[in-house]
Structure 1
Amino acid sequence: MALAYKTRKRLALAILMLGVPLYIVVAVTVVGWFERPGFLVELLIYIILGVIWAFPLKFVFKGIGQPDPDA
């Protein structure tokens, strides 16, 4: 079942406003549990974590910037 454009737009906004900040806090907390790695390793970890969240949510963000196809 495909989500309607309006629903996807609202869900994308909720993810960006609530989910991403929460994800950032969780990622920083989890990385903080371990002994601090070197700068480049830590940077690589944050880059990977910064990209990985979007893959499962790709279907929500696909086509959001386009005009409403139902209109």
Structure 2
Amino acid sequence: MEVGPNVHEGRMLTMTYLKRIRNKMREMMFTLMETVKKEKHLRYLLHILKLEGRNPQSKLEGLQDCLVKLKNYAM
């Protein structure tokens, strides 16, 4: 039984198609991982902002202490 040229060409098209799909999946996974990294970073920044906003009075007191220490060091 002889195999016609269309079978071979169809197989090559399928392999090319699969390679394109594989490359597209790699690109999508890379994009997804970058998005996850950015989201984690943004969540971390939001967490820091929430912590900073809890007690602004203590932050000001700490800043005042730093200024006093700096002034004493300069004298």
TM-score (structure 2 length as normaliser) = 0.35
Structure of higher CA gyration radius = 2
- More relative contact order in 1 or in 2 (CA 8 Å, sep 6+)? 1
**As a proportion of its length, which structure holds more helix?**
2
